[in-house]
Amino acid sequence: MTPASRPRSARAFQRAQRSLVGGVDSPVRSFRGVGGSPLFFTRGKGAYLWDLDGHRYLDMVGSWGANILGNAPPPVVRAVREAALEGLTFGAPSPREHELAERVRRAIPSMELLRFVSSGTEAVMSAIRVARGYTGRDKVVKFAGGYHGHSDGLLVRAGSGAAAGGRADSAGVPQSVARETLVLPYNDPDALRSAFERWGEEIAAVVVEPVAGNMGLVLPRSGFLASIQRACRAAGALWIADEVITGFRLRKGAIHTIDGLRADLVTLGKVVGGGLPVGAYGGRQEIMEQVSPLGPVYQAGTLSGNPLTMAAGSAMLDALGPEVYGRLEQRGRGIERALLGAAAREGVEDLHVARAGSMIGLHFGPRPPHDLPSALEIDRKRYGKFFWGALGAGAFLPPAVLETTFVSAAVSLRDVAFAERAFQRGMRAVVAGRAG
């Protein structure tokens, strides 16, 4: 697929670049990770998206996980329409806020008190501020490859050694801020134990994605999350489970609790907003009572808890019953098999597929990834070839090599078969590129 085959998207991108930085409002949308210029979409319904040029695509991005029921699910659309007719924003409390909060609490009992914000970045940033306020400590532990939003202290990567004060990934992040973040290897309990032996009395919190979704899809090894809980409990630090992606995606509630674990603070986003901007953070009552107006930790937001998002979120959570999660598991398994089948038929032997329910990671490389270094072994050119080949056949996948593919409940068995044909065309492009 070339710009000539989608001239309206090409013209829209040229125009956008005159007023928007890079022509986009989020870097991953720029398509620079796969080469070429981005598609511009005009509408979505169910499992499909349509671009400016009228081409239809099976949506395997799902607004990066938010659209768990597919595009424009009728119950959510109705709820938003009804709420909009009553007022877009009040800047004051409305019943919709505590009604959605009650739904979240029922699904995640450890969130005894919570607060809504407008993004996942805000949620994690606020949770870390609360952890520092509650513990009186400054240092935060994160894991290499884990993305927790673009706040200053979390845009860091590991230095030399098993753990070190972070080095900023972005210009504009003061080194004094980066030094308060310790970056450890994901899936490495020994490195975690060593960090607590050295800095335990200074660590306010450990923040982790229970299933890493931003270095491809990397599953936690058995016992890894439990080791975080033990280390935090022993040292008086707080464990923050960043479930912005996984919360309500893999089950009705938080995924880290499936083995009986209980984080001190949990952050949410994506699904809980029903497709509108949202974030949430919450945890034990005595911790969350540190937040203003009850305590000294300040956090505020003009559009936090706005009625449209609250209505969308309530409608979304009400629709997520056992049958939906059963369907997501079946369709996720079907897409996994379609990918592996297409690769096998075309003789592509270095494709590794990781799956957690309806989250799927694709990795063209020598081995399945288990941490950031192994994830970075991915062959970016081969993924790019696969992306464009599949896109030309009508399947829209993440336009970046280390992002996760999301399957929605709107995907049918016929859509899975369609996807398999698109994947096979993508694999042919990979083979052709290798031969070239």
pLDDT over 90 at 259, yes or no: no
Mean pLDDT of 163-190: 79
**pLDDT, tens digit, 9 for 90 and up, residues 108-164:** 999 999 999 999 999 999 999 999 999 999 999 999 999 999 887 887 753 223 334
Angle at 247 between CA 396 and CA 59, to 5 degrees: 10
Beta bridge partners of 359: 356, 406
- Predicted local distance difference test score (pLDDT) of residue 2: 61
Q: What is the chain's mean pLDDT, rounded?
A: 94
Q: Tokens representing 205?
A: 């919190």
Provide the 3-class DSSP secondary structure of residue 279.
strand
Among the CATH numbers 3.90.1150.10, 3.40.1410.10, 3.30.43.10, 2.40.70.10, which is that of 3-69+322-435? Answer: 3.90.1150.10
Active site residue: 134, 147, 186, 325, which one?
Answer: 147
Give me the helix-helix angle, 189-199 and 224-235, nearest 10°.
10
Which residue do the tokens 């993924």 mark?
Answer: 383
Beta bridge partners of 340: none
Mean pLDDT of 59-72: 98
Angle at 156 between CA 152 and CA 162, to 5 degrees: 145
More confident residue, 172 or 363: 363
Q: Alpha carbon of 367 to those of 83, 187, 311, 321: distances in Å?
A: 49, 16, 44, 36
Cβ pair 230, 262 in contact under 8 A? no
- Residues 6 or more apart whose Cβ sits within 8 Å of residue 319: 69, 73, 75, 76
- Predicted local distance difference test score (pLDDT) of residue 157: 58
Q: Domain limits of the chain? A: 3-69+322-435, 74-319
Of residues 192, 194, 218, the one with CA closest to residue 206:
192
**pLDDT, tens digit, 9 for 90 and up, residues 304-348:** 999 999 999 999 999 999 999 999 999 999 999 999 999 999 999
Mean pLDDT of 378-382: 96
45 labelled catalytic = no
More confident residue, 292 or 174: 292
Confidence class of residue 190 from pLDDT cuts 50, 70 and 90? very high
Confidence class of residue 168 from pLDDT cuts 50, 70 and 90? low
Cβ pair 362, 384 in contact under 8 A? no
Q: Is 174 exposed, middle or buried (0-12, 13-18, 19+ CB in 10 A)?
A: exposed
Cα separation, 309 vs 273, in Å, equals 6
Mean pLDDT of 362-391: 96
Active site residue: 48, 134, 264, 270, which one?
Answer: 270
Mean pLDDT of 276-286: 98
Least confident of 3-17, 234-248, 253-267, 377-391: 3-17
Least confident of 141-145, 168-172, 354-358: 168-172
186 labelled catalytic = no
Q: Is 323 exposed, middle or buried (0-12, 13-18, 19+ CB in 10 A)?
A: exposed
Cα separation, 296 vs 285, in Å, equals 15
Cα separation, 22 vs 293, in Å, equals 40
Residue 409 phi/psi, 5-degree rounding, is -70, -10
Confidence class of residue 165 from pLDDT cuts 50, 70 and 90? very low
Q: For the whole model, what pTM was predicted?
A: 0.94
Mean pLDDT of 348-368: 97
- Predicted local distance difference test score (pLDDT) of residue 3: 62
Provide the 3-class DSSP secondary structure of residue 383.
helix
Q: Tokens representing 17?
A: 């670049």
Cα separation, 278 vs 118, in Å, equals 4
Of residues 282, 327, 301, 367, the one with CA closest to residue 101:
282
383 labelled catalytic = no
- Predicted local distance difference test score (pLDDT) of residue 97: 98
- Predicted local distance difference test score (pLDDT) of residue 55: 97
**What one-letter code names the amino acid at 102?**
E
For the domain made up of 74-319, give the CATH fold: Aspartate Aminotransferase; domain 2 (3.40.640)
Cα separation, 193 vs 206, in Å, equals 12
Active site residue: 242, 371, 379, 415, which one?
Answer: 242
- Predicted local distance difference test score (pLDDT) of residue 150: 87
pLDDT over 50 at 12, yes or no: yes
Confidence class of residue 175 from pLDDT cuts 50, 70 and 90? confident
Give me the helix-helix angle, 413-435 and 380-392, nearest 10°.
130
Number of C-beta neighbours around residue 248 at 10 A? 26
User: Which helix (H) or strand (E) is 317 found in, with range?
Assistant: helix 307-319
What is the Cα 266 distance to its own chain's centre? 14
Residue 26 phi/psi, 5-degree rounding, is -160, 130
